């Protein structure tokens, strides 16, 4: 299985901190944010990893992480020319995946759990009960099966947020090619996940430890506090 860290975007919610740097290079307590998804993949046994970032600061990731040898992983890099959504960024990794399943993690997601990442046919998402599901993609779960995912719903009958860790088989790239841009003009990862649900090929696991995104000042502060408590 190959690993993919998605570290693009403009980080507008974290301005002015992101005026001269990529948000995934900001510190979360004691290390740059991107180190956490890298460690999540490594602990799960995924060591061949591609980092996808935007143009402005791509070289900074290379300066920080190099070939990956210091972290006992093999790193590759790709550049998303313009912001086009998570699925658009993922499409850049098709040649890197080279017919293997992929573990995809958002660069601003921090997990306490150690995962067993094994994937055959289909996809898998990782869910966590949250107090503010309207901020996330929300999964409806019936008898242990995911029946639908709605992105940032105003009204929801579920408190299961879809975290930023996904496992996909090789059909994910065909599914991305069939997407149309959302109202935001982006190719949405939620639409990819729902395509797997329609096929009856979506599984879900549930996160036991803490999970925190770090894409806003408040969530960045919470992430740092959570990490500090377990260091």
Q: In which band, very low, low, confident or very high, does the pLDDT at 143 lie, cut at 50, 70 and 90?
A: confident
* pLDDT per position as a tens digit, 199-226: 999 999 999 999 998 989 999 999 999 9
For residue 141, pLDDT over 80 is answered with: yes
Tell me what pLDDT residue 231 has: 63
Cα 4 from Cα 56, distance rounded (Å): 19
Question: Residue 206: which domain range?
Answer: 2-230
Q: Residue range 141-155: average pLDDT?
A: 88
For residue 67, pLDDT over 80 is answered with: yes
Cα 217 from Cα 225, distance rounded (Å): 12
For residue 116, pLDDT over 90 is answered with: no
Q: Residue range 126-145: average pLDDT?
A: 89
Q: Residue range 102-127: average pLDDT?
A: 92
Cα 52 from Cα 79, distance rounded (Å): 6
Tell me what pLDDT residue 230 has: 76
Which has the closest alpha carbon to 163: 200, 199, 210?
210
* pLDDT per position as a tens digit, 152-194: 888 887 899 999 999 999 999 999 999 998 888 889 999 999 9
Cα 45 from Cα 2, distance rounded (Å): 10
Q: φ, ψ for residue 83 (rounded to 5)?
A: -65, 120
Q: What is the DSSP letter of 223?
A: H
Q: How many domains does the chain have?
A: 1
Cα 30 from Cα 228, distance rounded (Å): 8
* pLDDT per position as a tens digit, 8-54: 877 788 889 888 889 999 999 999 999 999 999 999 999 999 999 98
Cα 187 from Cα 182, distance rounded (Å): 6
For the domain that residue 196 is a member of, what is the CATH number?
Answer: 3.90.550.10
Our CA dihedral for 151, 54, 95, 102, rounded to 10 degrees, sits at -40
The tokens for 163 are: 């975290």
The tokens for 179 are: 């997407």
Go through 195-221 and write b for each residue having 16 or more CB atoms within 10 A of its CB, e for each that does not. Answer: bbbeeeebbbbebeebbbbbbeeebbe
Tell me what pLDDT residue 6 has: 96
Q: Residue range 113-120: average pLDDT?
A: 85
195 and 176 Cβ atoms separated by less than 8 Å: no
Which has the closest alpha carbon to 39: 112, 125, 118?
112
């Amino acid at each position: 299985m190959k690993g993919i860290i998605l570290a693009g975007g403009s980080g507008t919610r974290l301005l002015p901190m992101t005026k001269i740097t990529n948000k995934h290079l900001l510190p979360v307590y004691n290390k740059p944010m991107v180190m956490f998804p890298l460690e999540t993949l490594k602990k799960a046994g995924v060591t061949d990893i591609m980092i996808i970032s935007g143009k402005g600061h791509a070289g900074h990731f290379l300066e920080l992480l190099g070939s990956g040898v210091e972290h006992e992983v093999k790193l590759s890099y790709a550049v998303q020319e313009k912001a086009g959504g998570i699925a658009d960024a993922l499409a850049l990794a098709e040649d890197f995946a080279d017919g293997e399943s992929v573990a995809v993690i958002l660069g601003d997601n921090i997990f306490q759990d150690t995962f067993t990442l094994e994937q055959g046919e289909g996809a898998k998402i990782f869910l966590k009960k949250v107090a503010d599901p309207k901020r996330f993609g929300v999964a409806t779960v019936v008898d242990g099966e995911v029946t639908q995912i709605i992105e940032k719903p105003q009204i929801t009958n579920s408190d299961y947020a879809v975290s930023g860790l996904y496992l996909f088989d090789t059909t994910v790239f065909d599914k991305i090619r069939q997407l149309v841009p959302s109202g935001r003009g982006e190719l949405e990862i939620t639409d990819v996940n729902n395509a797997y649900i329609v096929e009856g090929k979506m599984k879900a696991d549930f996160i036991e430890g803490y999970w925190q995104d770090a894409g806003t000042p408040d969530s960045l502060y919470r992430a740092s506090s959570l990490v500090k408590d377990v260091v």
